Chains A and B, each alone.
Chain A
C-alpha cells in the first residue's frame, strides 16, 4: 500500500495468493473515498470455445475438463448434460445417481482445499496452511484427510482426481459392482464425522461484520439440493428454465478493465456459489447438515461472505452425507451408458460447480460436430460482486492499518474462492503496474 501526499492511497496486490490462477488487485482511495477498484486478471486466454468447434460431441467432456484442474467434474457434467439436451437423451436412475456421487467427490475436495488451505489461514493470521499446521497440526491433518476422502471418491468413480477419464456423454465408460464400493462406505462414515467437526470449528472463527444486499442465483430442484439439474432461481424473483439463460444474463465487455463481466440484464451484479445455493435451497439439505448449520448460527440465510467458510463446511457435510446415502442405496447401472446417435440440435445445461453455476450451450450438426460453444464459468459471474464488495469493504474499514486492510481485501476476494484459471477463456484485464 502506498500513501501519497495528496491524500491518495493505493492498495495494490501484484499477485493474489491462495486463489486458483493469476490475478491481482488495485484499489485507489482519495480523501477517504474509494475511487477505483479493479480485480486484475493477467491469466492468458486459452480460447476453449474456439477450438471446441469441429470437435466430435463425444470429445467435449474430456476437452472442457482441461479448463480447470480444481473443478474438472463440473465442466464434464455441464458438457454432458448440454450434449444430452441437444441429442434428446435423458440419463436417469442409477447412472444419474453415480454422476451425483462423482460430483460429491469434487465438492468435497474443492471445498476442503479452500476451507483449510486457502481461506482458514486468513482468519487465524497465517500466511499459509503449512505455517498454520505448526500451531494447529491436528486440524490441518484432519482437513487433509477429509480432502483425501473427496479425492478417493473421484479416483474410484472417475479414474483419477484431476481430469477424470470415466465420464462420457450418455453415462460412464465403466461402472462398479456394489461390493467394489464398500471401502468408500467406511471412509465416508469417518468423513461425515470429520465434516461435522469442521462446521463446528469454522463457526468459531472470528468474522468481520459485513453484509450486503445481494441477488443470489442458484439452481433449484424440487426434490434435492442441486448438483446437475433444476431451474435457475434468484433471491429477487428470477425463475427460469436453463434454455432461457441468454435472455436473462449477458456478458458485458468493460472497456477500462478489458474484462467480460456477467450480469443480469435487468438488475446487474449477482452472486453465485455455496452461499447462493444455501440461501435458496436450505430446505433441501439433509437433516444432519441443516442441524449443523443451525447450530453454527446460520438458520437458513447468510449475507456475510466472510462466513462462506461455514457454508462450504455445511456443504461438505451434506456432500459426505449424500455420498453415503447414494453408496448405501447403490445399484449397479446396466448398461454403463446409453448409446447415442448424433443428430443436429442445440443443448443447454447448467450445473452447480463448487464455486457456483456453470452454464454450457452447444450447437451440433447431423454428424455430431460442434458448430458453436458457449461457456460461462462461476468466477466470471461473481467478478462484479467481488469488486462491489471491495468498494463497500474498503470504505467501511479505512481506519485499519495499511497492512491489515490489504490482507483483509485479499480475504474479501478469497471469500468467493475465485477460480481465475476457469475465468480466463473470457477474461483479460490490462496490466496496470505502477
Chain B
C-alpha cells in the first residue's frame, strides 16, 4: 500500500506585524491536530526546518512595499498550488498603506536619519495586485477560527464558509444592543465585512472597520450617519483610513472627505 502524503503548507511573510501567522500558533487546542493533517513545510516563525516546494497551500501575510518583495511574491506564487492571503495587509495593503495618501519620501525622512539608504515603494499594495490569489481572508487580525475553517475547507476541497455580509448581522446574532441607534456612538458595522464576531459593540464601542469593506457597502449613507452623530469631515476621512484604507470602497469614501 502506498503511503498517502500529507499536503504541504507554507507560510510567507511580507510587510506586516506577524499577528495573522501568530493566529495559527494561537490555535492552542487545534495546533497539534492541524500538524497531524498537514505537513508544515515552510513556516520560519515556527520551525528551522525547510522542506522544498512546490507547496499545496501557501498562506501569505503582509503587503508588498519594496522592490524585492514585488519579485519575491512572484516566486511564492510559482511554488504554490493554492495561495490564500491572510489579513488586512495581504488583502488590502494594511496600515502601512496610509503612506499611499502621502509623499513617501517625506515619510522616510521623518523616521530615518539617512533617507538615502531606504529602498521602498511609494505604495503599499495587496497581494492580489501582483499575483493571482485563490482566496482572501479578512481581518486585522484574522479570526483564528476562520483560519481553521479555511484550512479545513482546503483539506476537504470545498469553498470556505466565511460570510461576506456586514458586521451588523453578527451584532444582531450576538444580541448586542445597537451602539449607534441606542447609544449614538458612531459605528462602521453597517459597511464592515463580517468575521470578527462583532467584538467592539459588545465592548461598548463602535466598530472601527478592521475587517475592511463588506460586499457592496453603502459608504455614502454611512458617512451621512456619522455626520448626524456630529462627526467632522476630517474625522470621517480618518475613520475610513486605518487598517484597510487602500481597499477601494474605503479609499474612495475617504477621498470624498479629505479636503
Contact = CB atoms under 8 A, between A and B. Distances in A.
Contacts of B242: 59, 62-63
A299 interface: no
A12 interface: no
Interface stretch (B106-114, B126-134, B154-162, B220-228): B106-114
B44 A160 contact: no
26 contacts: A18-B47, A20-B45, A21-B13, A45-B108, A45-B120, A51-B98, A51-B102, A53-B110, A66-B19, A67-B17, A69-B17, A70-B22, A117-B25, A117-B46, A128-B46, A130-B32, A145-B28, A148-B29, A162-B141, A163-B140, A166-B203, A168-B205, A174-B203, A258-B117, A421-B17, A430-B117
Nearest to A137: B32
A163 B107 CA distance: 24
Interface of A: 15-22, 42-51, 53, 55-56, 59, 62-63, 66-70, 72, 109, 113, 117, 127-131, 133, 140-141, 144-145, 147-148, 151, 159-163, 165-166, 168, 173-174, 251, 253, 255, 258, 260, 336, 407, 410, 419, 421, 425-426, 428, 430-431
B168 to A, nearest CB: 17
Contact of A428 (B29, B35, B46, B118): B118
Nearest to B32: A133
B47 A130 contact: yes
B68 interface: yes
B58 to A, nearest CB: 16
A172 B259 CA distance: 32
A159 B25 contact: no
A144 to B, nearest CB: 4
A49 B19 CA distance: 20
Contact of A45 (B118, B140, B141): B118
A144 B25 CA distance: 9
B52 to A, nearest CB: 14
B99 A68 contact: no
Given A69-B141, A165-B203, A51 B99 contact: yes
Nearest to B15: A44
Contact of A51 (B31, B107, B208): B107
A350 to B, nearest CB: 20
A336 B205 CA distance: 12
B111 A19 contact: no
A365 to B, nearest CB: 13
Interface of B: 13-20, 22-23, 25-26, 28-29, 31-32, 35, 40, 44-49, 65-66, 68-69, 94-96, 98-99, 102, 104, 106-108, 110-114, 117-120, 140-141, 196, 199-200, 202-205, 208, 210, 235, 238, 242-243
Contacts of A130: 31-32, 35, 40, 46-47
B148 to A, nearest CB: 15
A296 B74 CA distance: 50
Given A128-B46, A145-B28, 14 more contacts: A19-B45, A44-B15, A44-B69, A47-B111, A51-B95, A51-B102, A127-B48, A144-B29, A151-B28, A159-B203, A162-B26, A163-B19, A165-B203, A430-B117
A117 B46 CA distance: 7
A47 B117 contact: no
Contacts of B140: 66, 163
A66 B200 contact: no
A291 to B, nearest CB: 28
